[in-house]
């Protein structure tokens, strides 16, 4: 049985610990532990520890939104993968377009992926094209490049550990989700790219997520029609009821 990943990326929200606790608890209280569904929440770093204390029944798995690529040392303002692991994080988002917009390039992203795999954490590598690139029909080229550079020199045995999140930039926070049929084409292309670049034979083992204006009305279509293994959810993960509706649609 393949797992379905329902991953909430809270981004830079909410603005107080009490709100974060309320949101987390309202989700934790209502869900059941299911073998088929991996419910993950990626809150801002500062909420990770307090939320881990509230995680009754370990029904929610914690993830982080980023990591630094060194273990420790004189790196003011950074948070390392070792620290995230120590707090109980299992997943870490890397290469989100909002981080790329603030300086993360493919080389930095690649370093982050290496350190995460070394620490036995699961990287969620975000890829996707801009509106302009889509219009110029450069989507496939962009995605292939981001996979190639992001996973440069990753040992073949680790490639299955990386989760790929296809998040077209034009669909993020716009209420204009990418149609499931386009996501299907992209998900097939991503698997083909893994065999072309890395010689992988069993590419169905690679977990692919879709993200970009996912809500309770469209969530299920991506898994059923676009055959992705789950969803990376921004604003709908900040509303407990909406997020729960998404989770329950897979029960
Ligand atoms: P929205 O769901 O708000 O469009 O954000 C998607 C996203 O960026 C998740 O990482």
In tens, the pLDDT along 167-211 reads 999 999 999 999 999 999 999 999 999 999 999 988 989 999 999
Q: Which atom of ligand 1 is nearest to the CA of 93?
A: 10
Residue-level pLDDT at 202: 87
Is the residue at 27 inside a domain?
Answer: no
Averaged pLDDT of the chain: 97
Is the residue at 160 inside a domain?
Answer: yes
Burial 90-119 (b: 16+ CB within 10 A, else e): ebbbbbbbbbbeeebebebbbbbbbbbbeb
Is the residue at 194 inside a domain?
Answer: yes
> d(Cα 223, Cα 111) in Å, to the nearest integer?
30
What is the average per-residue pLDDT within 152-160?
96
Residue-level pLDDT at 153: 98
> d(Cα 93, Cα 170) in Å, to the nearest integer?
19
CA of 10 to the centre of ligand 1 (A): 9
Is the residue at 47 inside a domain?
Answer: no
User: What is the per-residue pLDDT across 11-55, written as a single tens digit (0 to 9) for each?
Assistant: 999 999 999 999 999 999 999 999 999 999 999 999 999 999 999
Q: Find the catalytic residue in 98, 119, 133, 167.
A: 167
Is the residue at 212 inside a domain?
Answer: yes
**Mutational test site, ligand 1, from 5, 42, 63, 214, max ligand atoms within 8 Å of CB:** 214
Query: Is 167 a residue of the active site?
Result: yes
Residue-level pLDDT at 5: 98
Q: Find the catalytic residue in 96, 98, 133, 242.
A: 96
Query: Is 96 a residue of the active site?
Result: yes
Instruction: Give the residues surrounding ligand 1 with Cβ less than 6 Å away.
Output: 9, 96, 167, 172-173, 211-214, 232-236
Range of the domain at 95: 62-248
Q: Identify the residue whose C-alpha is closest to ligand 1 atom 9.
A: 234
CA of 42 to the centre of ligand 1 (A): 12
User: What is the per-residue pLDDT across 77-130, written as a single tens digit (0 to 9) for each?
Assistant: 999 999 999 999 999 999 999 999 999 999 999 999 999 999 999 999 999 999
Is the residue at 115 inside a domain?
Answer: yes
**Mutational test site, ligand 1, from 5, 8, 11, 94, max ligand atoms within 8 Å of CB:** 11
Query: What CATH number corresponds to the domain at position 82?
Result: 3.20.20.70
pTM of the predicted model as reported, rounded to 2 decimal places: 0.98
Domain count for the chain, please give it. Answer: 1
- Nearest in space to 249 (alpha carbons), one of 228, 225, 219: 219
Is the residue at 109 inside a domain?
Answer: yes
Is the residue at 48 inside a domain?
Answer: no
């Amino acid at each position: 049985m393949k797992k379905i990943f329902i991953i909430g990326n809270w981004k830079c929200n909410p603005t107080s610990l009490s709100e974060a606790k309320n949101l987390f608890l309202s989700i934790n209280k209502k869900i059941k532990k299911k073998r088929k569904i991996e419910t993950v929440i990626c809150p801002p770093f500062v909420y990770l520890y307090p939320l881990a204390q509230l995680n009754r029944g370990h029904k929610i798995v914690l993830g982080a939104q980023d990591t630094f690529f060194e273990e420790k040392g004189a790196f003011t303002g950074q948070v390392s993968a070792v620290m995230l692991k120590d707090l109980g994080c299992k997943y870490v988002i890397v290469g989100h377009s909002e981080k790329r917009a603030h300086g993360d390039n493919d080389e930095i992203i690649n370093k982050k992926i290496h350190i995460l795999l070394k620490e036995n954490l699961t990287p969620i590598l975000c890829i996707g094209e801009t509106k302009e690139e889509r219009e110029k029909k450069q989507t496939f080229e962009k995605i292939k490049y981001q996979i190639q550079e992001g996973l440069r020199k990753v040992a073949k045995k680790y490639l299955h550990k990386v989760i790929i999140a296809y998040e077209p930039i034009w669909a993020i926070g716009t209420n204009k989700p990418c149609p499931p049929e386009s996501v299907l084409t992209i998900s097939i292309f991503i698997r083909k790219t893994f065999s072309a670049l890395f010689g992988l034979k069993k590419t169905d083992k690679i977990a692919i997520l879709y993200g970009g204006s996912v809500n309770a009305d469209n969530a299920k279509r991506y898994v059923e029609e676009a055959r992705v293994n789950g969803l990376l959810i921004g604003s709908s993960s900040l509303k407990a009821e909406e997020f729960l509706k998404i989770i329950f649609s897979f029960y």
